[in-house]
């Protein structure tokens, strides 16, 4: 499908702190679903955004930082490329990070809104990280920020400690449920079976604040 006929302009925005040992070649492979979707043959070829004023896809090797402010023309099938990218970035991420993706309806005419026509614009948040705990930490922090910002219109920030504690409780329950689900089917500790010597959760410690 020609990009000129694509029903959406898709904007990807976020930054990911990468492991110190993450190489450009590894990053290029991890981001292949993006630049290949754009019809490029390499990350360098596909890093430029559809809009010149946007910085595109940047890799700061000194800071080990991936920065994305990049637009591509496409369709709903781009969501599959995003899923593949996130799976690969998990392996390179040093800590949890959020990536915002906005689908803008390229065919929508605001003049049609009066006729009852609705835009197909859509927005989604993606999360990457080295462990489930790291991903949940980012989700928790964003939710706390959103809730506090909303409630501070009516309450002083110092009054919202209980609300934050309840959010932490919910994420603690989710994290514990994840740990328990991963433990199901594992041999008992010291059983001598394959993997039996571990017994612990590969996702690492519980996210901070979630006590």
Domain CATH for 98: 3.60.90
Alpha carbon distance 179, 50 (integer Å): 42
Do 118 and 148 have their domain in common? no
φ, ψ of residue 190 in degrees (nearest 5): 75, 15
Query: Which of 27-36, 49-58, 110-119 is predicted least confidently?
Result: 110-119
Straight-line distance from the first to the last Cα atom of the chain, in angstroms, rounded to the nearest whole number: 50
Q: What's the confidence (pLDDT) of residue 175?
A: 85
Do 143 and 204 have their domain in common? yes
Instruction: Give the chain's mean pLDDT.
Output: 85
Do 15 and 36 have their domain in common? yes
- End position of a domain, from candidates 101, 130, 159: 130
pLDDT band at 2 (very low <50, low <70, confident <90, very high): very low
Do 137 and 78 have their domain in common? no
φ, ψ of residue 42 in degrees (nearest 5): -160, 170
Give residue-wise pLDDT tens across range 134-165: 999 999 999 999 999 999 999 998 899 999 99
Q: Given a cut of 60, is residue 196 above it in pLDDT?
A: no
Q: What's the confidence (pLDDT) of residue 28?
A: 98
Query: What is the span of the domain harbouring residue 192?
Result: 131-211
Q: Given a cut of 60, is residue 128 above it in pLDDT?
A: yes
Give residue-wise pLDDT tens across range 72-109: 999 999 999 999 999 999 999 999 999 999 999 988 76
pLDDT band at 61 (very low <50, low <70, confident <90, very high): very high
Do 110 and 174 have their domain in common? no
Q: Given a cut of 70, is residue 49 above it in pLDDT?
A: yes
Mean pLDDT of 52-81: 97
- End position of a domain, from candidates 69, 97, 130: 130
- End position of a domain, from candidates 113, 130, 147: 130
192: how many CB neighbours lie within 10 A of its CB? 8
Do 56 and 34 have their domain in common? yes
pLDDT band at 210 (very low <50, low <70, confident <90, very high): low
Q: Given a cut of 50, is residue 211 above it in pLDDT?
A: no
Do 174 and 94 have their domain in common? no
pLDDT band at 5 (very low <50, low <70, confident <90, very high): confident
Runs of H (alpha helix) within 70-160? 78-90, 132-151
Helix (H, G, I), strand (E, B) or coil at 55: coil
Q: How many domains would you assign to the chain?
A: 2
178: how many CB neighbours lie within 10 A of its CB? 15
Q: What's the confidence (pLDDT) of residue 1?
A: 44
Alpha carbon distance 133, 142 (integer Å): 14
Do 90 and 189 have their domain in common? no
> Are residues 100 and 125 in contact, defined by beta-carbon separation less than 8 angstroms?
yes
Do 95 and 142 have their domain in common? no
Do 42 and 90 have their domain in common? yes
Do 12 and 84 have their domain in common? yes
Do 94 and 140 have their domain in common? no
Mean pLDDT of 52-56: 97
């Amino acid at each position: 499908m020609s990009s000129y006929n694509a029903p959406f302009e898709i904007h990807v925005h976020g930054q990911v702190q990468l492991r110190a040992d993450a190489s450009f070649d590894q990053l290029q492979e991890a981001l292949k679903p993006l630049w290949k979707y754009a019809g490029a043959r390499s990350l360098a070829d596909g890093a430029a955004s559809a809009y010149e004023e946007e910085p595109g896809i940047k890799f700061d090797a000194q800071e080990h930082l991936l920065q994305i402010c990049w637009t591509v023309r496409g369709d709903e099938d781009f969501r599959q490329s995003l899923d593949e990218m996130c799976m690969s970035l998990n392996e390179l991420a040093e800590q949890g990070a959020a990536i915002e993706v906005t689908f803008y309806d390229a065919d929508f005419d605001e003049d049609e809104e009066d006729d009852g026509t609705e835009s197909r614009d859509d927005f989604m948040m993606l999360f990457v990280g080295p462990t489930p705990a790291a991903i949940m930490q980012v989700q928790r922090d964003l939710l706390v920020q959103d809730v506090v910002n909303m409630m501070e219109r009516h309450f002083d920030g110092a009054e919202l400690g209980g609300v934050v504690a309840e959010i932490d409780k919910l994420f603690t329950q989710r994290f514990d449920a994840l740990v328990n689900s991963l433990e199901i089917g594992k041999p008992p500790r010291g059983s001598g079976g394959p993997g039996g010597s571990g017994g612990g959760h590969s996702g690492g410690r519980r996210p901070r604040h979630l006590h």
